[in-house]
Structure 1
Amino acid sequence: MITKMKKLTFLIYHKEYEQFLEQIRGLGVVHIVEKQCGEMDDRLQRFMQKRALYKNTLNAMNNLAGKDLSATVRTGVSADEVVSAYEDLQSHIQELGQKLPQLDKDIAQMQVWGDFDWTAVRKLRDAGWYVQFYSCTEKEYDEAWESDYNAVRIQEQGGHIYFVTVTPGPLEGLDMEPLRLPSASLSELLARKADTELQIEQAQADLKAFCQANCKTLEHGNLLLQGDIDLLKVKLNSEHMADGAVVLLEGWIPVDNEPEVKQLLDNSGVYYEIRNATKEDNAPIKLRNNAFARMYEVLTKMYGMPDYAEFDPTPILAPFFSLFFAFCMGDAGYGVVLIILGFILKKKLSKSLSGMMNLVITLGVFTTVIGTILGTCFGVSLFDLELPEFIKQFMIVGKIGETTYDKQMLLALIIGVVHISIAMTVKAIGETVRYGFKESLSSWGWLLLVVGGVCVGSLSFFEVISEHVSTWAFIIIGGVSAIGIYLLNNLHRNVLVNIGAGIWDTYNMATGLMGDILSYIRLYALGLAGGMLGGVFNQLAFMVNDAAGPALGWLFCGLILVFGHTLNIAMSCLSAFVHPLRLTFVEYFKNSGYNGKGEEYAPFTTVENK
């Protein structure tokens, strides 16, 4: 549900404004209304740029630090110092990395000549003998050079001949330029490369250790900077009146926090007004649900927060999403795996992430129960096992009578009809609350036609009512619904226009509802696909067991079962999350009229310096 809000209006003397903001900020419950009464100043722009730098650096540091983030906030170390030190370490690694390409080039150039001592070459030159290095193609090479210039072939490679000449003076008769080789020998170059690689490895280790030790410090600095940004934004959102002598500020508070806010305002002597939020107000949204529904608020926020005049969809989203997830998984054994995995990760993950494991455990419980009802456990049909009949009677398996339709497919369609019926009920009630009963007659007409028709059809199908009664019930429901749909859908328009609009709505509803209901077949299809794939892995594993013999057979059988079902669980979890989310965001939200354009409650607060 949505927490009720109160609208606050403050009038503060400009000299007391800074002190008042600190008091409100310390209270940490007031959501400031953003009006953007002033342009973004240079200081705020610098803060915004610095925040972007902090965020980018923090993301990079978290990636390098890995899972080891046990270090706490370091006292006496600022976020700017952390960023500067991180950039220095990165620059050092880049400088070392830039040396490797040149070293590789020099090594490749020297490898054709082998490892020789440049000192000996220089001694020969001091003695008057010049050793020069050349390269030419095989066609260009002249055998006479060996006698004329003491040419010595060193290596033939890729159609080229590499040779040296030893002459009593600088060689002048050869019509080609000597090669310019690196001044270090091959062994020296290889040693330099190995040393550089070790330095890079050590620098990367130092960088990782630095990130692990300073991530929390930068994260805290980012929070402090965000607090400064929030404070500057509040100042920009303040309206100066009476030639700047008085400052007007507006905000919102939850009704539960009204006493403490009143106490603070009364003690400060600030003039203020408090009133209840109305449906027309764009009040911020603070969700308040029980422990079960609270786990699913993250899904509501993924789509968008409700408007203040709308209903919180989370209490309805929670059970149906769990049901959809379990139906798509469709395997009791996989549910048990999710429960075990949730408990294990809950102990190992951080406190913020361990809360998500409660959702995993809950979905695992739903999957275990629904999987048992659907009669599948690790790809094995429970209905075919020798189980007591009182257990099998709760399983929904097999065909419907003498038809070729599966009971599980019918169950998926029934769930879809119920889900959409609830969505239409929520829409009719929501429009009545927001706009009044007269303005929502069309929604009530469609609700009566669809839900009433489904109820009467179900009662007639199970022979609870006679055919004569059901016929008259359909006539009455259709007649009453037609009045709301075709004649009274908008009391401010001409009747003929209403009839035309009603016909258009009829076309959209007829095609839309049929497609929406058929979308729920995906629940049956995904559950069936997962169960069949699990069964295939079982058959493959035991076929290998029979073929490989008793010793290796059980080994390969176990490996195939573990790998196969792990892969199947991973794929099933992905589809079991995405498709129920689609059924909620598309089919349910569309038919319930949910917009999700509300603003989340974000109180103006401070971060304690640790």
Structure 2
Amino acid sequence: MAIDPLKKLTLIAPVASGPLVLKTLQRLGCVQVCDVAERLPAGEEQMLSRGAVSADAVEENLRKVDLILHLLDTHAPKRQSLMDALAPLPMLVEREEIDRAVREFDLEGYHRGGAALDETWRGLERRIADLRSQIESLSPHRIVPFALGDLSRPRRTRLLYGTADRQRAADLRSRFAWEILPQEDTASKRVPIVLACLREEEDSARQALAGLGFEEALLPGVSGKPLAVIRELEAELQRAEAAFEAATEQIRALAVHRRTVTILKAYWTSRRGREQAAAKSLQGKWVHVLCGWIRVRDLPKLRESLAGEVPGAEIVLEDPGPEDEVPVSLSMHHTWRPIQGLVSMFGLPPYRDFDPSPFLLVNFYVFFGICFSDVGYGVMLVLFSLWLAHRNREHTAANDFARNLLYAGLSTIVFGVLLGSWFGDLPKYLGEGNFLLALQQRFAMLDPLTRILDALLLALGIGILNQFYGIAVKMYGALRQGDWTTAICDGLFWLIALPGLVIMAARMFVDLPPALWNTGLALFLTGSLGLVLTQGRDVKHPVGRLLTGVVSLYGIVGSYGFTAFLGDVLSYCRLLALGLTTGIVANTFNMLADMAGSAPVVGPLFFIVILLAGHVFNFLISLLGAFIHSMRLIYVEFFGRFYEGGSQPFRPLGFDSPLAAVREPAKT
């Protein structure tokens, strides 16, 4: 339960061993590589130079892999379960499988074939679209009995083809030479017609025709009879569609290599990381120099591997300096490691600070349990998390998340028992004297639906205690660094004043013994006096120092404030709100199911269907709300008292890809 101690590493090896050093470090996955030039004193970097590093080959291979994967994703998408789609996990591969894929798979050949297939497929797609467009443009003219090229053949006359209003066709007959063509829809108000005029009279003829309702057809650029051309185009379309399907099937046939190509994508992505690490190293005439960070616990592994694989390599270790921005790696016992995910989501602590993860083990699960607080939903969550943990047993992050849900589910069961919620009030609908009703009545200590004021006081009490807990953790962090001033002035004085404030505020609601009131007043005055005298300690002028101390009590300046305390405590009312919402919605579905269950014949079926659908819906919605609001209480109200994240995580050079992860051999 701590921040891993790190060492500054300088690795010196024979210049010819540079690539081997990087390959070894990537296999071990224990060194975060840094730029050597940033570590060397000013002027000394001129004694070394950057090696000739080019990632062109890596990028070219990645481009080839991406094309093949894009083809597969487009034409043969991988079937995924809902769980895989929501939370995709990298596939696990053996190192031997990676080496075999790199060594044996003909990436160049498959890329060449894939690119050719892609070009063919796209060309056929365009051709099919063009043919369909031509057929569509010719279809209105399919009954024209002459070749369309004949319309432009006469030298002295101009033939115009279009449609005219059936009722005004007589006006056209009296002024133009015309011929009405046969049509499929004899009931249409417009008729196809061919008109003739002298070429020198074309402009005046068009003006006259426009006034008589004639609309000239826009003819496609073909010369044959439309029906014959359409049949030729349809035959060509059939051939193109057949070729299109054949090309698609050829692309889909590449899907048998999807796993191998995905492995290559992960491999070349990691190789790009290795090339980037190589660009951060320097070399001289005889030596290759690499700098980085390493966890102390990984030193034996590194020394053993270098001794066997890179003869002549030497490492120099240094402690981090006060000005160094040290990356952070957290370690925790396997059982409690899931809680570290919450810290990582918020931001890692400074290297010289402490890991806050152990301090979340109680309050987060208490918050979650109260928000969800139903035995039935807790059992559902436990069963789901056990299945999820087993399914992802080889994926550390996913397994930790599943176990986090497991612990949250156990807390939900405990608080569901204490608050008397078993799928809401379902036991009372299962008949008198049933086993669940007996358990509910025996162990329930507080029903928030009937004793809402007591539940509210419980939520506020938890909020007060959690605020005191956060201040105490702040004192712990200050004392770890020997900062007694901060521990006393920004911690202890608040722990004296705030309990006094709570006691004094309680007098507005209940009668307090005089001794308790006097104790609260003394605590409040003592703590407030200490705060007034110390919160402005960084201000030089004595009057300004005193004024700053007074204003700090409100919370505008200083480490905390009475108004901030009040606002934070009131925020814990969400524990009651979430718990009530879960119970009320569950009770509502129980009532609806009971009402529907009274129907003849189909009543029992309706009862079961409404119960299942309603409680699954409430489970999902309430689970999301419980998780989000519990994290909110941790991140804002709890972390706000003592914690600031933002450190860079420790990222060792390794096989780093979201698509694949190396399955390490089991330790014997």
TM-score bucket (shorter structure): 0.7 to 0.9
Counterpart of 1:534?
586
Task: State the 1:447 CA deviation.
Answer: 4.0
1:319-369 residue CA offsets vs partner (Å, 9 max, x unmatched)? 433333332223222222223333445555684345543333333222222
Task: State the 1:515 CA deviation.
Answer: 1.7
Alpha carbons of structure 1 residues 265 and 324: separation in structure 2 relative to 1, 3 Å = same
Task: State the 1:77 CA deviation.
Answer: 2.2
Give the stretch that moved more between structures: 311-320 or 577-586.
311-320
Match of 2:622 among 572, 586, 605: 572
Superposed, 1:423-434 pairs within 5 Å as 423-434=470-481
Match of 1:338 among 376, 381, 385: 381
TM score, norm. by length of structure 1: 0.78
Distance 1:215 1:450 in 2: 65
Counterpart of 1:598?
647
Counterpart of 2:463?
416
Counterpart of 2:343?
300
Contact 2:7/2:294 (CA < 8 Å) preserved in 1? Answer: yes
Letter of the structure 2 residue corresponding to residue 256 of structure 1: R
Provide structure 1 residue ranges, at least 5 long, that are not aligned to the other structure: none
Distance 2:571 2:64 in 1: 45
Letter of the structure 1 residue corresponding to residue 292 of structure 2: G
Counterpart of 2:87?
none
Task: State the 1:14 CA deviation.
Answer: 3.9
Superposed, 1:452-467 pairs within 5 Å as 452-453=499-500, 467=514
Contact 1:113/1:155 (CA < 8 Å) preserved in 2? Answer: no
| Count of aligned pairs | 590
Task: State the 1:303 CA deviation.
Answer: 1.9
Distance 1:238 1:185 in 2: 69
Superposed, 1:466-545 pairs within 5 Å as 467-468=514-515, 471-472=518-519, 474-476=521-523, 478-480=525-527, 482-483=529-530, 486-487=533-534, 490=537, 493-508=540-555, 509-545=561-597
Distance 1:542 1:222 in 2: 56
Percentage identity across paired residues of the two chains: 22
Q: Does 1:361 align with 2:406?
A: yes
Task: State the 1:312 CA deviation.
Answer: 1.7
Distance 2:254 2:361 in 1: 42
Task: State the 1:415 CA deviation.
Answer: 2.4
SS of the residue 2:183 aligns to:
strand
Distance 1:425 1:239 in 2: 48
Letter of the structure 2 residue corresponding to residue 583 of structure 1: L
Alpha carbons of structure 1 residues 208 and 239: separation in structure 2 relative to 1, 3 Å = same
Counterpart of 1:310?
353
Task: State the 1:526 CA deviation.
Answer: 2.0
Q: Does 1:136 align with 2:163?
A: yes
1:506-557 residue CA offsets vs partner (Å, 9 max, x unmatched)? 22222222222222212221221222222222222332333xx322333333
Alpha carbons of structure 1 residues 443 and 6: separation in structure 2 relative to 1, 3 Å = same
Contact 2:455/2:576 (CA < 8 Å) preserved in 1? Answer: yes
Distance 1:473 1:406 in 2: 24
Alpha carbons of structure 1 residues 381 and 301: separation in structure 2 relative to 1, 3 Å = same
Task: State the 1:60 CA deviation.
Answer: 8.7
What is the root-mean-square deviation of aligned Cα atoms in Å? 4.9
Match of 1:254 among 295, 312, 316: 295
Q: Does 1:43 align with 2:44?
A: no
Alpha carbons of structure 1 residues 488 and 553: separation in structure 2 relative to 1, 3 Å = closer
Contact 2:494/2:527 (CA < 8 Å) preserved in 1? Answer: no
Contact 1:155/1:162 (CA < 8 Å) preserved in 2? Answer: no
Task: State the 1:7 CA deviation.
Answer: 2.5
Alpha carbons of structure 1 residues 15 and 192: separation in structure 2 relative to 1, 3 Å = closer
Distance 1:322 1:270 in 2: 49
Contact 2:36/2:289 (CA < 8 Å) preserved in 1? Answer: no
1:190-212 residue CA offsets vs partner (Å, 9 max, x unmatched)? 7776776777677667656645x
Alpha carbons of structure 1 residues 609 and 517: separation in structure 2 relative to 1, 3 Å = closer
Alpha carbons of structure 1 residues 329 and 155: separation in structure 2 relative to 1, 3 Å = farther
Contact 2:499/2:524 (CA < 8 Å) preserved in 1? Answer: yes
Counterpart of 1:321?
364
Alpha carbons of structure 1 residues 123 and 597: separation in structure 2 relative to 1, 3 Å = closer
SS of the residue 1:31 aligns to:
strand
Letter of the structure 1 residue corresponding to residue 465 of structure 2: V
Distance 1:495 1:59 in 2: 70
Task: State the 1:306 CA deviation.
Answer: 1.8
Counterpart of 2:211?
none
TM score, norm. by length of structure 2: 0.72
Distance 1:53 1:158 in 2: 60
Distance 1:497 1:362 in 2: 50
Contact 2:531/2:549 (CA < 8 Å) preserved in 1? Answer: no
Task: State the 1:29 CA deviation.
Answer: 1.9
Superposed, 1:396-411 pairs within 5 Å as 396-398=446-448, 405-411=452-458
Counterpart of 2:666?
none
Distance 1:201 1:496 in 2: 86
Counterpart of 2:46?
none
Task: State the 1:138 CA deviation.
Answer: 1.4
SS of the residue 1:377 aligns to:
coil
1:406-454 residue CA offsets vs partner (Å, 9 max, x unmatched)? 3332222222223222222222221333462234433223442356548
Letter of the structure 1 residue corresponding to residue 608 of structure 2: G
Distance 1:587 1:86 in 2: 56
Contact 1:445/1:481 (CA < 8 Å) preserved in 2? Answer: no
Distance 2:67 2:480 in 1: 45
Superposed, 1:366-381 pairs within 5 Å as 366-380=411-425
Contact 1:431/1:439 (CA < 8 Å) preserved in 2? Answer: yes
Alpha carbons of structure 1 residues 350 and 58: separation in structure 2 relative to 1, 3 Å = farther
Distance 2:187 2:550 in 1: 82
Counterpart of 2:43?
none
Distance 2:24 2:574 in 1: 54
Provide structure 2 residue ranges, at least 5 long, that are not aligned to the other structure: 39-48, 82-90, 154-158, 207-215, 556-560, 664-668
Give the stretch that moved more between structures: 514-523 or 390-399.
390-399
Contact 1:133/1:163 (CA < 8 Å) preserved in 2? Answer: no
Give the stretch that moved more between structures: 175-184 or 525-534.
175-184
Counterpart of 2:45?
none
Distance 1:145 1:350 in 2: 87
Match of 1:77 among 96, 105, 112: 105
Counterpart of 2:6?
5
Match of 1:559 among 581, 605, 609: 609
Letter of the structure 2 residue corresponding to residue 135 of structure 1: G
Task: State the 1:3 CA deviation.
Answer: 1.7
Letter of the structure 2 residue corresponding to residue 552 of structure 1: V
Task: State the 1:6 CA deviation.
Answer: 2.5
SS of the residue 1:260 aligns to:
helix
Distance 1:483 1:178 in 2: 93
Contact 2:501/2:521 (CA < 8 Å) preserved in 1? Answer: no
Task: State the 1:82 CA deviation.
Answer: 6.2
SS of the residue 2:293 aligns to:
strand
Alpha carbons of structure 1 residues 141 and 367: separation in structure 2 relative to 1, 3 Å = farther
Distance 2:424 2:287 in 1: 72
Contact 2:328/2:649 (CA < 8 Å) preserved in 1? Answer: yes
SS of the residue 1:428 aligns to:
helix
Task: State the 1:84 CA deviation.
Answer: 6.2
Contact 1:155/1:163 (CA < 8 Å) preserved in 2? Answer: no
1:393-417 residue CA offsets vs partner (Å, 9 max, x unmatched)? 543214798xxx4333222222222
Alpha carbons of structure 1 residues 481 and 311: separation in structure 2 relative to 1, 3 Å = farther
Task: State the 1:315 CA deviation.
Answer: 2.3
Counterpart of 1:179?
219
Distance 1:304 1:216 in 2: 34
Distance 1:279 1:158 in 2: 94
Give the stretch that moved more between structures: 178-187 or 1-10.
178-187
Letter of the structure 1 residue corresponding to residue 650 of structure 2: Y
